[in-house]
Structure formats: C-alpha cells, structure tokens
Amino acid sequence: MNEWQKEMVKVAGDISESKERVKKRVLQQQNVKAKKPIRFALLTAIVTFCLVGFIMVQLLNKETKQSANKFNDTLLTHFEKITRINWGKQDEEFYSKEAFERYKKVVAIYYYAKSLDIQYSEAELKAVRNEHYDELVTLQQVPEYAELFKEEGVDKYFKKYLEPLLPMYATRKKLETFYLEKYPTFPKGIVQQIAAQDALRYFDKHFAEQAKTFQEQNGIKNYNSSSHGTIYMGTVIKVEVESNAFLFVKGVVPKDLENLSQEQIMKKYPKATWYPVMDDFFLKQGDYVCLESNSSQSIDENGIVTHYGVLNNVEISEPTVTTKLNIQNEQEAIQFFRQTVWQPAEDMESPPDYSFMLEGVRVDVWLSYGQSLYVYKEGYGIVHLSQKRSEELKAILGIEK
C-alpha cells in the first residue's frame, strides 16, 4: 500500500469489508437485472396469448352468431309487405305469422338443398335474377303493388329486398328439379309441395331454436300452419319403388282386400290416393297405416282421375276391426231411422266401428268425439247424430260405449 492509500485508511478506516459488501450487492443487482428481461418477456408472451385468445374467441363467437342467424329482419319486412297486399285487411298478428311462414319456407328449402349438396351455377343465378327483376317491373304496373316502390323505386327495392333472396330462389329451382326426377309420376304442383314439406321437416329438426329465437325477437307467436293436416286410416294397396310412391285407400282394412285383384281394388276404390314414400320409412303392400296429409290434387287424364297427396307423417297401425252387429229389435231400428234426415255421403277417414244389415241394406256406424255417432246408410247418405240421438241408437243397437 503506498503512502496515499495509507492516509486514506487512517481517515476512513479499513474498507475492505465494505468493499466486499458493495461488490456482492453490485453482483446481486447485476443478476437481478439479468433476470428482469426473462420475466418481462414471459409476462408479455402471456398477455399477448390472452389477447390473441380473446380476439379469436370474439371472432369465433361473431362467426357462430352470424352462421346461426338464419333469418333477417329486413327480409321479413319484405314478406310482410307482400302478405299485406295479397291478403287484404287482416289483424296484425296474421300478417306477421303468415309472413314468417313464407320466409321460413324459403330459408328451409335453401338449407335443406345445401344438406343434399345441391348447388347452382352463376348462369342459373343470373337467370333467376333476371326473372325476379322482370317480375318486379311488371308488378310496378299493378296498382296494389305500386305502393311497394313509392319510397325507394324498383331498383332500390330490388337491391334491398330481392338480391339477398336470389341464392335461395336459385336453390329452390334446383331442388324442384331434383324432386321432379325423384317423383316422376306426380304433378309438378304436388312435387313442389312435397319438396317444401321435406325441407320444413329437415329445418325444424336442425334449426328449430334459431327459428324460435327470431320469432321471439319479432314478437311472433309460435305458429306452424304447415304441420297440421287431416288424419286418415287405411291400407297400402300398392308400392312403386321406381316412382317412390305408394297407393293408399282410406277407410278399409287389409282383410277387406284379401279376395280382390288389383283391378277390382282400383274399381271399387276410385278415390285411392298416391303419396310419396318417405326416405326413412319402409312401407309394403298390405300395411294398415295412419297418415297425415295437408294437401291433395286430382288429375283428369282422358277421363281417368288420379289422386295425389302430400304426406306429413305416416305410422303403421293395428287394423281397426269392424264389429258386426246382429240386430234383435229390427222394427225399433227401422222406426228410429225414419226420423233421420240424411246428408250427401262424405268420405270417412277410418273404417266403421260397427256395421249391421237393416232391411237388406248395410249400415255403418262410427264413434265420434263426445261419444256421438256418425251413421252411413248405403243408398241414403250419412248423418252426424246429436248426443241425445246417439244415446238412443246405442241403446237400440246394444252398443255399451
């Protein structure tokens, strides 16, 4: 140690210990500073990951909501405008319900066709565009429809309301072509209804919640007119696999057809109706079924009338057995029917519950709601008896129900 260092030690004392402490502290600080960038980088990575994750979730949620939203308020307005014109003066609830049903059918057909991988070309879309634009221009000349274009004009109205629907209309045309090939023996009008019915059935199975939410948002009560039809009981008398169709005759059981040829069946039951075979339901000749139909059409070709129907649902059932009655007090029954006013005969949806012979004439009886009776007398017609008259006839015939 030189003289200068010795003098410093005298004044400050021995600082070697302090020097070591300072050295250690400096080294510790250096170590801490070296770690800070690692912590900071890790924290930055975590924040960045969370931020990216949040953004991705938002984008996915937005995409999910957009894909789940099968309906649009603006397009519903278009259908409501058209409904008001076509149906005249109705209550407000009717307009919203009917407009939604029309709109839903178009949307259902679109998504059902997509599920079948049915696609249209640009040329087909262009043709549909021209068709609907020309139709709109024509409607402009009709006084009732002219109201549609007063505020916006044909071009603006078309762009706002019709252009978003064009892909759906193009798809509908393609689906109709597909169904005409599937049911070659059915008239076009019925085929269009069958396609729409299948589309609605598919849509209700897969997108019922989206439809319900949209209805609630627009204050539309749950309503589905297309799901209700007439129930028929009867027998399948023929199945044509190539035509995807079966022939159904209502009001008879398989036993009634046992000894009849195909020609005799057709002659005896001229109102037998062709229905489409449902893809997921196997039917064979002789099946006794309960079916629901909401529409039918008859075609007259060279004096031969053929009947076609739209099928909502079908189920195989146990045959309804008609109980044959042996009338003991025939004179009392004759007297009862003398006071009956007969109406023109109408088709009944099911076989009679009871049948008996009276003065050589067959009489069929059906139990109806509230235990009242329908009675058909061959050659006379049909009558729906009141509750009181029904009880009187039950007592005469010995019917305990």
**Mean pLDDT, rounded, for 176-201:** 95
For residue 166, list its beta bridge partners.
Answer: none
Please state the rounded mean pLDDT for residues 265-283. 88
Which position has the higher pLDDT, 134 or 318?
Answer: 134
400 phi/psi in degrees, rounded to 5: -85, -20
Which pLDDT score is estimated for 390? 93
Q: Write down the residue that tokens 């229905």 correspond to.
A: 275
pLDDT of residue 220 exceeding 60: yes
Percentage with pLDDT > 90 across the chain:
52
Reply yes or no on whether the pLDDT at 26 is more than 70.
Answer: no
Whether the predicted pLDDT of 40 surpasses 70:
no
CA distance 395 to 373: 12
- In the predicted model, is pLDDT for residue 380 greater than 80? yes
Collect all residues with Cβ–Cβ distance below 8 Å to 160 and sequence separation of at least 6: 74, 152
Cα–Cα distance, 26 to 24 (Å, whole number): 5
Q: State yes or no: pLDDT of 164 exceeds 90.
A: yes
Query: Residue 63: how many CA atoms within 13 Å on its side-chain side?
Result: 6
Q: CA–CA separation, 75 vs 301, rounded Å?
A: 41
DSSP strand pairing (304-316 vs 273-276): parallel
Amino acid at 144: E
pLDDT 10s digits, 107-161 = 999 999 999 999 999 999 999 999 999 999 998 888 888 888 887 889 999 999 9
pTM strictly above 0.85: no
Phi/psi at 311 (nearest 5 deg)? Answer: -100, 125
Tell me how far CA of residue 231 lies from CA of 204, 261, 285, in angstroms: 21, 27, 20
- Mean pLDDT of the chain, nearest integer: 82
CA 232 → CA 118, 269, 290, 292, distances in Å?
Answer: 34, 15, 6, 6
* 367, β-bridge pairs: 373
Q: Is the pLDDT of residue 84 over 70?
A: yes
CA of residue 41 relative to chain centroid, distance = 56
Are 74 and 93 in contact by the 8 Å Cβ rule? The answer is no
Cβ neighbours around 247 below 10 Å, total: 21
Distance between CA 99 and CA 221 in Å, rounded? 12
**The pLDDT of residue 60:** 39
Q: Counting Cβ atoms within 10 Å, is residue 290 exposed (0-12), middle (13-18) or buried (19+)?
A: middle
